[in-house]
Amino acid sequence: MCGIIGYIGKKEANRILISGLERLEYRGYDSAGVAIIDDNNNNENNDNKINTNKVKGRVENLKCKNIPGMIGIAHTRWATHGRPSDANAHPFVDKTQDFAIVHNGIIENYLELKEELRKEGVSFTSDTDSEVIVHLIARNYSNNIKEAVIKTVKKLQGAYAFCVIKNDKKEIIGARNGSPLIVGVGEEENFLASDVSAVVEYTKKVIYLGDFQIAEVKNDSLNIYDFNGDEKEIEIKTIDWNLELAQKDGYKHFMLKEIFEQPKVIEDTLKVKMDIKKDFSKIIMVACGTASYAGLVGKYLIEKIAKIPVTYEIASEFRYREPLIDENDLVIAISQSGETADTLAAIRLAKEKGAKTLGLINVVDSTIAREVDDVLYTRAGPEIGVASTKAFISQLILIYKLAFKLAGKEFYFDLNKFKETLSLNEKLKELAKKYFLYQNFLYIGRNTSFPLALEGALKLKEISYIHAEAYPAGELKHGPIALVSEDMPTLAICPMDEVYLKTFSNIEEIKARDGKVISIATEGDQKIKEISDDIIYVPKVEEIFYPLLITIPLQLFAYHIADLKECDIDKPRNLAKSVTVE
């Protein structure tokens, strides 16, 4: 989940590395650092130094120090092993300070490796798993970094992408197994990075490294090898978005900008063509986090519209069970990044069992997109805010299209209704002022509104740090109703659908126990005023389309509460955008 970038070329590396880290900061931001080869001492003795600058906290803390040099690597961290601190920040150097590495992933056998290295006299300066990599490379080195890396990766267990530099070598070596790593191809300069956002300012030509591959990158050449040292064919892709798409355009936060970009996202995603043959007996949705709630909405929709049985699986649980799937099943993986570790592992398990696989992915040529049998790309564009908004709506749109396609029907959605719902922004801003000091919330819904309750509660937790729990409304009496009080508001999703009266009764149960209720209801519903403290009305649509509209007030309510609490909305604590470790 960390972000890494490397640069080699004719320009000063420090500014390029820090600029790239700022675009990768969504992947982690509890510490950051750079390591740059200072080749001002370039002479017969090859006594160049690797200078480092690493600090606890945000990338901007690196800007107070400028390190000269044209070859370097950098890292922004999401902690897995070791607390955020200067000492645990990357890059790490070996005891001679001839080598430096940055690493994204988890080395599962680092304790055994650490003990092995300690017996050889190696001293460690951090509590991380990553530091073992640099000491192993130094131990394995014999005048060829690539060969040292090949020897090192054979000792590593777990998922990783790392880059290494040596003080007297004009090259960067990158290796990948399970964590993303791309090569940016420039003119007399090249890059390595966790994703294209870090390099798009400088080049649109990229190479996506596969698992068990090594990149040997110089300023004027590059080669790709497998872990046996055999050279691989290079395939350069051109990315089709630019840096302007990642700017705030006057919005206070990226999250708010991305909420208001959703009509365009829907419009673009509606254009996705799909050729799906109904040659399977059931569908299994696998995903994590917000994407999993899109999958749960999909279960309801596909079963209702296409009459195909669907199971919903959290990827991190699916992979450790013995799921009963075979060649007659379709496994659909949903992931914004296309790099989500648990979802990727679930797809690999499904393929081992012979199932057909389909990806609903936002990032073109990401790992999951390359490994599934077929892929449908959401058209969300780059999503910078850590809390997913427009990616979620694009996932829903693709799922609607898929459900209608499988049913042999045309899918049409009135985008004007969605735009109309966005006009609730000011009302939700005022509503947030009434509720932002509460510390606990319940979210309830039935049928397709239940996964929306899950997503709404998650948004509130992610960006405002308020405790929120979501339940099917019918489950209130089975325990959660004990939590109802004046101090714990309930957000009830109650549109005019087939379960309206049932949800209405659940709201009455809450009011009978002095609970405060915010209802999301259908425009024109006067009856719900009797049992609600506050109401957010969404336009009236065919009931199957309410999830698309209700998503908006859930996002905006969480956003405005977090803004009133002065939270770091785009970079909430402890979170990263792309979860590339277990």
Q: Which has the closest alpha carbon to 314: 336, 335, 287?
A: 287
Residues 6 or more apart whose CB falls under 8 angstroms from that of 250 comprise none
Tokens standing for residue 409: 């029907």
Contacts of 239-243 with CB under 8 Å at 24 or more apart are 239/196, 239/200, 239/204, 239/206, 239/364, 240/204, 240/364, 241/200, 241/381, 241/382, 242/200, 242/204, 243/200, 243/201
Residue with tokens 């990783």: 160
Bridge-partner residues for 427, per DSSP? Answer: none
Instruction: State the distance between the two ends of the chain, measured CA to CA, in whole angstroms.
Output: 10
Strands 374-377 and 356-361: parallel
Query: Could you give the CA distance from residue 459 to residue 240 in angstroms, rounded to a whole number?
Result: 29
Give the residues across from 440 on adjacent strands. 467
Decide: 350 and 357 in contact? Cβ < 8 Å: yes
CB 236 within 8 A of CB 183: no
Tell me which of 114, 390, 459, 577 is the catalytic residue.
Answer: 577
Sign, Cα dihedral of 220, 12, 238, 274:
positive
The DSSP element (H or E) to which 371 belongs, if any, is: helix 367-371
Rounded-to-integer distance, Cα 449 and Cα 297, Å: 8
Residue among 2, 288, 494, 567 flagged as catalytic: 2
Distance CA 556, CA 575 (A): 20
What sign for the dihedral angle of Cα 23, 24, 26, 28? negative
Which parts of 241-339 are beta strand (E)? Answer: 282-287, 310-314, 329-335
Q: Is position 2 annotated as part of the catalytic site?
A: yes
Q: Which of 166, 215, 171, 252 is nearest to 9 (CA)?
A: 171
Residues involved in catalysis: 2, 577
